Amino acid sequence: MKISTFLGRFFHSTNPNYAAVCGQIHDSVCDGELQKVKTLLKDNPYIITNKNDKGQTPLYVATVAGKNDVMELLLTHKADANVKSNDGYTPLYAAAVAGRKDLAELLLAYKAEVNTKDNHAMTPLHFAALMGKNDVAELLLAHGAEVNAKDNDGQTPLHLAAAQGHRDEVELLLAYGTEINVKAKQGRTPLHAAAAMGKNDVVELLLAHGAEVDAKDNDGYTPLQSAAYKGHKTVVESLLANNAEVNVKARNGGTPLHSASLEGHETVAELLLAHGAEVNAKDNHGFTCLYMAAGEGQKAVAELLLIHKADVNAEANNRSMPLHIAAGEGHKAIAELLLMHRAEVNAKDNTGAMPLYMAGWEGHMDVAELLLTHGAEVNAKDNDGNTSLHVAVAQDHKDVVELLLAHKAEVNAKNNNDVMPLHVAARNGHKDVAEFLLSHGADVNAKDSNGATPLLAAAQAGHKDIVELIRQHGVHN
């Protein structure tokens, strides 16, 4: 759980001034008006059990406000220290979050339940661990707090302390015998938590106490992969120094180098490579680290991988290459880099699509122009017989259409169904593109394999403006 999420949930509930319909005693308790509270209790002893709209008793409000004397008064008048708010919080939670050992001691002396659980199954010790309140945590443990208690997410206090980097808290929990390799519901250990958050002091402490360096979560990720994904170089160094497996694969087949490449963490990628990371390792989709970097536009990482002999033309399972993904995502600088390293400009994936086709489909004119200047075949066809012009027209990318025609794209190219770019423009209602095709000699009378002309295609789709446009260009009725 993110600490901001936790605090928002807790303080929304505990702040006595937050839209709470408080009775008079709640107001007086909050303000620390001891004599007034005495008078109210004398007039009506049962008022001590009153709750506001958050389900908070006067004792709860007094604990949040840190009013020791008022708390003692309420407790001597038999206020119940274990009554829960609507969110399941007792006053002991408020003392734990605030780090008020004195208040916690007072509540425990009046039989506050140390292992009570809120609506998320968190105990007061979870709260103290999350907030790094070591004195309160030690007090709770001395009173029998369950050190391995799990919340609804399966997290123990150690998970929370580790994620926040509370080294003293972690040491305390370890001294009380907490299970160091315990897994939360998602399979993550405290070491995962510390590594993902970049808490290197805690990472080293956990490793020194026997944390499993290559523990895998439910997705097969190890702490090294978590740290690599987040770009925590120091943590990566510590894990590698403790013999973390550098080429370990998650369930999706990705390695730590895949994670670093995807997120553009150059220094982490360099460190992994220096420790033997396989530069051409493939995940379950056949994606290499270079493919990942190309798809996300991570040029610095791509350059690093190429220096380390990354295969520029490595095929994924669908036979696409890094240049395909770079072109499709519009990463011109990456495409330029790949071409400089002899990427195959006319390589086809298993649908027959080439990088130019991908750029045309997505409307990346600058990338399309780059590919054309490097010898991309402007009239190459995919498995369905479509050219880059077909797809640029289909997506209404007029600037790309102009570029392709300027590079001698066949305006009347037919796909496997004898459909031409003008048919496509007419059927999709792309008037400006249709007009441009007509100005470049598109055949208004050509028929597809179903006998449909561009005029019929426009009429069937209800594009009256294109019907009129085509008629003006000499269509045969």
**CA 53/CA 87 separation, integer angstroms:** 11
Mean pLDDT calculated for residue range 222-235: 98
pLDDT bin (cut points 50, 70, 90) of residue 474 is confident
Average pLDDT over residues 461-474: 93
* For residue 213, pLDDT beyond 90: yes
Above 90 in pLDDT, residue 339? yes
| pLDDT tens per residue, range 382-416 | 999 999 999 999 999 999 999 999 999 999 999 99
More confident: 347 or 15: 347
Whether the pLDDT of residue 439 is over 90: the answer is: yes
pLDDT at 2 over 80: no
Over residues 212-219, the mean pLDDT reads 98
Q: Which of 48-57, 111-120, 174-183, 272-281 is least confident?
A: 48-57
- pLDDT of 9: 57
> Taking 50 as the threshold, does the pLDDT of residue 18 lie above it?
no
Per-residue pLDDT tens for 134-144? 999 999 999 99
Indicate left, alpha or beta for 476 from its phi (over 0: left) and psi (-120 to 50: alpha): beta
pLDDT score at 19: 36
Residue 442 has pLDDT above 90, yes or no: yes
* Residue 23 pLDDT: 74
d(CA 81, CA 92): 8
Could you report the per-residue pLDDT of 99-154, keeping only the tens digit for each?
999 999 999 999 999 999 999 999 999 999 999 999 999 999 999 999 999 999 99
Q: Output the average pLDDT for the chain.
A: 95
Query: What average pLDDT does range 199-215 have in this prediction?
Result: 98
pLDDT value at residue 13: 53
Determine the pLDDT at residue 6: 56
Predicted confidence at residue 5, as pLDDT, reads 59
Is residue 364 scored above 70 in pLDDT?
A: yes
